[in-house]
Amino acid sequence: MRLPRFKYLGPETLDQALDLLNTHKDDAKILAGGTDLLVRMKKGLLKPNILISLKALNELSYIKKQDGYIKIGARTPLADIIASDLIQKEARALFQACEKIGAITIQHYRGTIGGNILQDNRCHHYNQSDFHRSGRQACHKDGGKICYAREEADRCNSTCQSDGATALMALGANITLESKGGQRTVDLANFYTTDGIMPFAMESHELLKEIIIPLHGAQSAYQKLAYRSAIDYPIVCAGVLLKHSLKKEIEEARIVVGAMGRSPLFLAQVSSSLKGKKLNDTIAFKKAADASMDSSATFAVHNVGATLDYRCAMVSQMVFQALEQAAKYIKR
Amino acid sequence: MEKILITLNINGQSCEVMVYPNDTLLEVLRDELDLTGSKESCGEGACGSCTVHMDGKPVRSCLTLALEAQGVTITTVEGLANGDDLSDLQQSFIDHGAVQCGFCTPGMLMSADALLKNNPRPDKKSVRKALAGNICRCTGYTKIVEAVAHTGNPKDHCPDCKPGK
């Protein structure tokens, strides 16, 4: 499959990149690893006139611990995150999520954490080639008026299938967006529009610069369900954070379910139901897992290649497994 | 769109080639440089048949822009053998019957070669993990995994293992 034509710009510094982005705005797209952008361009889903490449911007590739936070540059390759001792110990959910993204060959040069967060929403009706889509009416995301995933739907129901975003939301991460005008830091949980067509509350002249993970002294875990051990996007995934007291009771829990809705779903009520429970309270975990299933089932549509019943049932399983894992790491 | 002159370092040789911005490394390797070992199967980074090495690390060449492949050492499957002398890995593939139609083989070799450089005696689990990004429609993977795992230990693993050249 051929890429469509575009103009290639290779800024040397972040300032240059922000300048170009500010000049071209909607005409341009950012190229990091390209595993999402270039694929969509090959399928004819998107034809930007200009690509602004982050290849030379090594200043956006770092992992460091600072003032009680882990700070990760948006262009950091997934392989670096996986190899980081710091992430493995203190942000385990992110480590587990990144391990499962793509394949080893994608995690080196081509897959970046920023790119994983900013990957466009997916739907197996939309993510098809030009040729496939030419045989039928365009759907909402494709500029049309119909949804193939949910009958009679007046809006796009494409799914956020980002492993990284699910894990990071469970970790309570913030992100920094930079532009020529300035900078702003946003809680990842507030970054989503819940619109399938434009999922991110981000302007066209803004660039994702940094991911900031607070160090809670908590443990986290991530579980992904996919058909194969590599390459595949999650059918269902769950990220979980457990903060505990010295008495081995849960002080704070964060349960996030991914690949079910138009954004990762932070289940606040279910999470707070675990407060005060003991770390070995399997029954409480099971209850929370089932409640997660009920909460997220309403968002799911049949668009990622597994039946709705199965996916919903698996939410409970993924959440339960993630909770058990996080509790297990605490006991160590 | 104008063509740009780029310099690529491939299999130890430097070559200059004119490319469009939207040419992928895979297209340049196959169409401009006649290095047809790397294959295009899915074109979207899901199958691994386009795998080449950039600075020793396996990469999807179908999703790499040719003009972004400058300044790195590129190795393709053609660079594994030394003239007519096949590498141990390649010989192991032949000995173990790990090649049927052969289309996935270059990608498998490149992913396996990268693994073996870091871990010369991997167990089967590590082999499967390293090759998880490469798809094969013919073999069912068993022989491929055996071939890779046995490359470093050609004496005592199975009847197919030959005791070295």
- The DSSP line for A24-83 is HGGGEEEESS-TTHHHHHHTTS---SEEEE-TT-GGG--EEEETTEEEEETT-BHHHHHH
Residue with tokens 């693993």: B157
Per-residue CA distances from A26 to A20, A74, A120, A212, B125 (Å): 11, 20, 15, 27, 46
* Whether complex ipTM tops 0.95: no
Alpha carbons B50 and A43: distance in angstroms, whole number: 18
User: Does residue B35 fall inside a structural domain?
Assistant: yes
Contact between B58 and A4 using a beta-carbon 8 Å cutoff: no
User: Does residue B40 fall inside a structural domain?
Assistant: yes
Question: Do B107 and B133 share a domain, yes or no?
Answer: yes
Question: Do B140 and B101 share a domain, yes or no?
Answer: yes
For residue B25, give its domain range: 4-79
Alpha carbons A122 and A308: distance in angstroms, whole number: 16
Q: pLDDT grade, residue B165 (50/70/90)?
A: very low
Chain B residues with CB under 8 Å of A38 CB are 24, 63, 65
Q: What is the pLDDT of residues A134-191, one digit of tens each?
A: 999 999 999 999 999 988 899 999 999 999 999 999 999 999 999 998 999 999 999 9
Contact between B68 and A108 using a beta-carbon 8 Å cutoff: no
Tell me phi and psi for residue A292, to 5 degrees: -65, -40
Q: Does B138 touch chain A (CB under 8 A)?
A: no
Alpha carbons B45 and B134: distance in angstroms, whole number: 10
- Which of B20, B49, B79 finishes a domain? B79
Alpha carbons B68 and A181: distance in angstroms, whole number: 29
Contact between B58 and A105 using a beta-carbon 8 Å cutoff: yes
Chain A residues with CB under 8 Å of B128 CB are 229
Question: Do B105 and B58 share a domain, yes or no?
Answer: no
Chain B residues with CB under 8 Å of A103 CB are 48, 132-134
Alpha carbons A185 and A188: distance in angstroms, whole number: 9
Question: Do B72 and B104 share a domain, yes or no?
Answer: no
Written as one letter, the residue type at B150 is H
Question: Do B67 and B25 share a domain, yes or no?
Answer: yes
Q: What is the pLDDT of residues A248-265, one digit of tens each?
A: 899 999 999 999 999 999
- In the DSSP assignment, the letter for residue A204 is T
Q: Three-state DSSP class for A166?
A: helix
Q: pLDDT grade, residue A332 (50/70/90)?
A: low
User: Does residue B9 fall inside a structural domain?
Assistant: yes
Question: Do B18 and B43 share a domain, yes or no?
Answer: yes
| Most distant pair of Cα atoms in chain A: their distance | 62
User: Does residue B28 fall inside a structural domain?
Assistant: yes
- Give the distance from residue A106's alpha carbon to the nearest chain B alpha carbon, in angstroms: 6
Contact between A8 and B65 using a beta-carbon 8 Å cutoff: yes
Locate all alpha helices (DSSP H) within chain A, ordered by sequence.
14-24, 37-42, 78-83, 85-90, 92-99, 104-107, 113-117, 130-133, 163-170, 268-272, 282-297, 308-331
User: Does residue B37 fall inside a structural domain?
Assistant: yes
Counting the structural domains of chain B, the total is 2
- Give the distance from residue B43's alpha carbon to the nearest chain A alpha carbon, in angstroms: 6
Can you spell out the DSSP letters for A35-49? TTHHHHHHTTS---S
Contact between A5 and B67 using a beta-carbon 8 Å cutoff: no
Query: Is A281 a residue whose pLDDT tops 60?
Result: yes
Contact between B44 and A108 using a beta-carbon 8 Å cutoff: no
Contact between A104 and B132 using a beta-carbon 8 Å cutoff: yes
Residue A238 neighbours by CB under 8 Å, 6+ apart: A166, A222, A223, A255, A256, A257, A258, A292, A315, A318, A319, A321, A322
- Which of B27, B53, B79 finishes a domain? B79
Question: Do B106 and B44 share a domain, yes or no?
Answer: no
Alpha carbons B47 and A40: distance in angstroms, whole number: 16
- Return the structure tokens found at A112: 């970046």
Chain B residues with CB under 8 Å of A5 CB are 1, 20-22
Q: Does A42 touch chain B (CB under 8 A)?
A: yes
User: Does residue B159 fall inside a structural domain?
Assistant: no
- Which of B53, B79, B105 finishes a domain? B79
Q: Which of 32-71 (B) contact A at CB < 8 A?
A: 43-46, 48, 51, 54, 57-60, 63-65, 67-68
Question: Do B16 and B60 share a domain, yes or no?
Answer: yes
In CATH, what number is assigned to the domain containing residue B92? Answer: 1.10.150.120
Question: Do B102 and B74 share a domain, yes or no?
Answer: no
Question: Do B23 and B64 share a domain, yes or no?
Answer: yes
Residue in A222, A123, A205 with CA at minimum distance from that of residue A171: A222
Question: Mean pLDDT for chain A?
Answer: 94
* pLDDT value, residue A110: 80
Q: For Cα atoms A117, A295, A147, give the angle at the middle one, nearest 5 degrees.
A: 65
Question: Do B14 and B35 share a domain, yes or no?
Answer: yes
Contact between A108 and B132 using a beta-carbon 8 Å cutoff: no
Residue B55 neighbours by CB under 8 Å, 6+ apart: B72, B73
Which domains, and CATH codes, for chain A? 1-57 (3.30.43.10), 61-118+159-331 (3.30.465.10)
User: Does residue B129 fall inside a structural domain?
Assistant: yes
User: Does residue B126 fall inside a structural domain?
Assistant: yes
Question: Do B9 and B56 share a domain, yes or no?
Answer: yes
Cβ atoms within 10 Å of B11's Cβ, excluding its own? 17
* pLDDT value, residue A248: 85
Query: Is A204 a residue whose pLDDT tops 90?
Result: yes
For residues B64 and A34, is the Cβ–Cβ distance under 8 A? Answer: yes
